Amino acid sequence: MESGDVTTASTPPAPPPPPPLVSSAVKIGFNSVTRSLERAAARRMPACLVKDGRNPPRSDEPAAAMAVVFVVRSSDDSLYAHLPALCATASAPRSKQTATRIVSLDASAEARLARTTQLPRVGIVGVPEDCPNAAALIEYAQHHVECVEIPWLTEALNGQYQPLKIEVTVPSPAKPAKAEKTVN
């Protein structure tokens, strides 16, 4: 053995680093993020939309709303088609500044997210407002990513009667084509 060789058999492998504080707060995966947004939307539902006490918000659920939702673009975007409306509904009473942002990630980010979280696949990650050590990320997203706006939802939550407006356009009757005269 040469003097520069180091044997690794005598040294035990280094233990993995402890998980960061962020890992206990973020929501990872389709179901987890969707459930969290649904709970936030139910808590923020205007009283005029709650009928007969159905679907009351549960008090044992955490109150933090999602600040940012990261979604990996996939070949089947219909899987995430509900997220814009759900984010807008969950953010409805909040200001545009604090509304939930959706950040679309390139498909190559899935492998890196999976490796980082030590899961086989990760397509969606939600970061709540009260996530420790994520204030800079949330602030950056709030300043650089537009919030989801759904005009009909804004009008519906406004609580004002909107009269029906129908614009009818009647095409003018087509004039019959004139027959061409042939000269012999």
pLDDT 10s per residue in the chain (184 long)? 555 555 556 778 887 767 666 677 888 888 989 999 988 888 766 666 666 555 555 545 555 788 899 999 876 778 888 888 888 888 877 777 788 899 999 888 888 888 888 888 888 999 998 888 888 999 999 999 988 888 887 777 777 787 888 888 888 887 666 656 666 5
Position 126 scores a pLDDT of 92
**Long-range contacts at 147-152 (CB < 8 A, ≥ 24 apart):** 147/91, 147/96, 147/99, 147/100, 147/101, 148/84, 148/85, 148/87, 148/88, 148/91, 148/99, 148/100, 148/101, 148/102, 149/88, 150/84, 150/85, 150/88
Centre a 10 Å sphere on the Cβ of residue 89 and count the other Cβ atoms it contains. Answer: 20
Closest Cα partner for 87 from 146, 175, 25? 146
- Is residue 18 included in any domain, yes or no? no
- Is residue 52 included in any domain, yes or no? no
**Full domain range(s) for residue 77:** 27-46+62-155
- Is residue 117 included in any domain, yes or no? yes
Length of the chain: 184
Position 97 scores a pLDDT of 79
- Is residue 166 included in any domain, yes or no? no
The answer to whether 27 and 125 are in contact (CB under 8 A) is yes
Edge-to-edge order in the sheet of strand 66-72:
27-28, 124-128, 66-72, 101-105
- Is residue 143 included in any domain, yes or no? yes
How far is the C-alpha of 139 from the C-alpha of 90, rounded, in Å?
19
- Is residue 176 included in any domain, yes or no? no
Centre a 10 Å sphere on the Cβ of residue 72 and count the other Cβ atoms it contains. Answer: 21
Which pTM value belongs to this model? Answer: 0.69
Where does residue 64 rank: exposed (0-12), middle (13-18), buried (19+ CB within 10 A)? middle
Q: How many domains are there within the chain?
A: 1
- Is residue 51 included in any domain, yes or no? no
Domain at 32, CATH number: 3.30.1330.30
- Is residue 19 included in any domain, yes or no? no
